[in-house]
Each structure stands twice: as C-alpha cells, then as structure tokens.
C-alpha cells in the first residue's frame, strides 16, 4: 500500500499550539483523529508546551486565586455521548454543514461552515476513476482523505492521509478507480484551474 502522508512538523507544532487558522486546523484535526502516529506526535508537542510553561519567566497576576471560583463549584463534567455519522470524523461535529451538492458528474461537495476562518472548508466526494482538474494554488490546500483514495504527482493518498499542498505545488489528482474518494479540504487563497472541470468547481472555491 501507500506510504502514510502526514503533515510537516511545523504544521503539527502550529496545530498543537492552537495557532492555525480554524479551517486549516480542522483539516489537520480530521487527519490527527484518523492517524495514530500523528496523534502521538501532537501529544508530544503538547508536552513540549508543558515544558515551555515550566521554563517561562512568571509574570505576577493582578487578580487573586479565589476571585472567581466562588460561583463555580468544582464539578465533574460527564461527557455526553456523541452521535457521529458514519464516515464523518468526530472533530467535525461542532460545525454546521450544507447539503451535498452535485458539482459535476459523480462529483459532489458539501460546505462546512467555519466562522472566522480565512479558509473555505468543504467535503468533496468523487466517484471511481475521476480525474480532478489540473490546478495550482496561490494559498494552501490542505486535504484529509476520509475514505477511498486519490493519486497525483506526489504519491497516492488513502484514508487518513494528509495532503499539504501550497503555492509551490500544482497537481492533477486522479481518484481511485475502485473505491472513489471522500475528503475534507481546507483552502486559502485562489485556485488556478486549467480545463473545463475548473469552471464547475468555481462556485465551490469562489473564484
């Protein structure tokens, strides 16, 4: 099978620090949920922050410890069981979705509403064997494959993989001929399409 594709260390560090744009962070989060190696690395990077916290120069607080806790009893927070749609990562649950909308033959998309994000976030579902249009980016296009697979100039991307494309990449993804592909995409900047399918994708990426 394919080699697992994972985010760069810098991206995971920014993610672990809570420093990514929310839409981009969501694409990373879906991958982290599906990939145990990245999950371990995120936990390690969180531990790095714990170490930073221990080493930092303290800055005196002007408010005291007990100012606020009076109104807040120490309490257990039982977590409610979450209902996850099959094929949908749990990290998407806090967000609202649009309906699945066909944007071509055997291609459909569904917007994920991420208020405050500079990125457009959407799920994309493409039937077996479809070639997505050749395109370049002016910003980021970060993709987590939720099911199925696609392949392009930089390798084969299967369920759980992360495809971290930026302005340096241009590619022509081809969807797996048997399984098709569903993925979560976060996109910033513009996408420069070549070919007829690009026009179909225009409403999707607001060119």
Partner 1 sequence: MVAAFALNVEDMREASAPAPGGRFFALFDANALIAAIARSGDRAAFVALFDHFAPRVKGLLMRGGTPAELAEEIAQETLLTVWRKAALFDPAKANASTWIATIARNRRIDIARREARSRLSQVYEILDEDGPEQPDETISGAERDARIRAAMTGLSADQYRVVELAFLEEFSHQDVAQRLAIPLGTVKSRLRLALSHLRGKLEDLR
The residues of the shown chain that bind partner 1, judged by CB under 8 A, are 9-10, 13-14, 16-22, 24-26, 29, 32-33, 36, 39-69, 72-77, 79, 82, 90-91, 93-95, 115-117
B/e letters for 6-26, b = 16+ CB within 10 Å, e = fewer, are bbeeebbbbbbeeebbbbbbb
C-beta of 46 vs 153, nearer to partner 1:
46
Q: To the nearest whole angstrom, how small is the minimum distance from the Cβ of residue 8 to partner 1? A: 8
Q: To the nearest whole angstrom, how small is the minimum distance from the Cβ of residue 1 to partner 1? A: 19
Q: To the nearest whole angstrom, how small is the minimum distance from the Cβ of residue 49 to partner 1? A: 4
C-beta of 73 vs 178, nearer to partner 1:
73
User: CA angle at residue 181 from 175 to 186, to 5 degrees?
Assistant: 100
C-beta of 48 vs 105, nearer to partner 1:
48
User: CA angle at residue 21 from 92 to 175, to 5 degrees?
Assistant: 55
Q: To the nearest whole angstrom, how small is the minimum distance from the Cβ of residue 89 to partner 1? A: 9
Tokens of 79: 């977590």
Q: To the nearest whole angstrom, how small is the minimum distance from the Cβ of residue 31 to partner 1? A: 11
C-beta of 64 vs 178, nearer to partner 1:
64
Rounded Cα gap, residues 160 and 138, in angstroms: 25
C-beta of 1 vs 74, nearer to partner 1:
74
Q: To the nearest whole angstrom, how small is the minimum distance from the Cβ of residue 184 to partner 1? A: 12
Cα→Cα distances 182→14, 41, 84, 100, 106, Å: 26, 25, 16, 12, 12
Tokens of 190: 């513009």
Rounded Cα gap, residues 13 and 20, in angstroms: 9
Cα→Cα distances 31→120, 163, 176, Å: 17, 10, 19
C-beta of 22 vs 179, nearer to partner 1:
22
């Amino acid at each position: 099978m394919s080699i697992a594709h994972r985010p760069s260390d810098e991206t995971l560090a920014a993610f672990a620090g809570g420093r990514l744009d929310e839409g981009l962070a969501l694409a990373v989060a879906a991958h982290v949920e599906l990939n145990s190696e990245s999950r371990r690395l995120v936990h390690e990077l969180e531990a790095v922050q714990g170490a930073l916290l221990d080493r930092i120069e303290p800055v005196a607080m002007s408010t005291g410890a007990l100012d606020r806790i009076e109104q807040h009893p120490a309490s257990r927070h039982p977590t409610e069981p979450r209902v996850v749609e099959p094929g949908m990562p749990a990290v998407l649950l806090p967000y609202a979705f649009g309906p699945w909308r066909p944007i071509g033959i055997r291609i459909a998309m569904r917007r994920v509403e991420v208020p405050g994000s500079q990125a457009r976030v959407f799920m994309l579902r493409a039937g077996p064997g479809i070639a997505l249009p050749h395109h370049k980016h002016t910003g980021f296009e970060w993709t987590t494959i939720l099911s199925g697979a696609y392949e392009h100039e930089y390798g084969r991307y299967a369920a759980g993989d992360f495809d971290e494309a930026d302005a340096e990449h241009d590619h022509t993804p081809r969807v797996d001929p048997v399984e098709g592909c569903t993925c979560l995409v976060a996109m910033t900047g513009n996408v420069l399409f070549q070919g007829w399918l690009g026009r179909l994708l225009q409403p999707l990426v607001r060119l």
